[in-house]
Amino acid sequence: MTWDAAGASRAISAAKASGMDFIEIALLDPASTDAALGRDLLEKAELPAVCSLGLPQEVWASHNPTGAIDFLKLAIKKAAGLGAEALSGVTYGGIGERSGSPPTVQELDNVATVLEAAAKYAKDHGLAFGIEPVNRYETHLINTAAQGVTMIERIGAPNMFLHLDTYHMNIEEKGAGNGIIAGRAHLKYIHLSESDRGTPGQGTCDWDEIFATLAAINFKGGLAMESFINMPPEIGYGLSVWRPVAESADAVIGQGLPFLRGKAQQYGLI
């Protein structure tokens, strides 16, 4: 979670040793990210990268659009410095942001203002810019693929894309396939995360439905395995992860990665 010399080296070497095609870097604290070091390590490993984040509470876009824009601009600079292809995630708000009410017109207007500015800044830095709908327990703003599409089409930025997540879809969509179909025009990236956030293939996500629908829409984007273990407190709180969701990182990578790769091969996605 810390992108310093030790953290970056450990993550990149482990991803490479595991046979991963790319790595997703959490830019939760972009100011502390050593982009030059990370870029050097990534280039030496010949490992592409995508960056992701959620906004800290003090700069939630719904209430502090100016602060959110400044935070995202710094994150975009760091992502570009790392040589990443995109910045995505909960770029429109916080993980754990809930007002207790449906989003207001003003909140969504503020979010749109932030995303429009960030997408333009990302384009100027050669980056694609994504938004990830997350479940109702983590935000009240954007929960479904359809809501994500509405926001993307409202802004109309050519470098914006939809980033889905099977864990959130398992809660919010009327079938993962329907969510993928709803987002297909803008879908470029998907988190493959099990129903309990643990080892893919050991929960209740319907992986055949997910991969078959991705194949049906001729999906060509990023397939990212995501599991949450050994979480720092600030992330565990936002995600409501209170207990180990998998035996170990070795179990997730040793069992989950081959499972997902096998499904992707079965359906002709890789």
- As a dihedral over the C-alpha atoms of residue 95, residue 149, residue 50, residue 241, rounded to 10 degrees, the angle is 30
C-beta of residue 49 within 8 angstroms of C-beta of residue 23 = yes
SS (H, E, C) 63-91: CCHHHHHHHHHHHHHHHHHHCCCEEEEEC
Beta carbons of 163 and 130 less than 8 angstroms apart: yes
Contact 189, 257 (CB under 8 A): no
Known catalytic residues are 132, 226
Q: Report which DSSP code applies to 139.
A: B
Q: What is the distance between the alpha carbons of residues 74 and 127, in angstroms, rounded to a whole number? A: 13
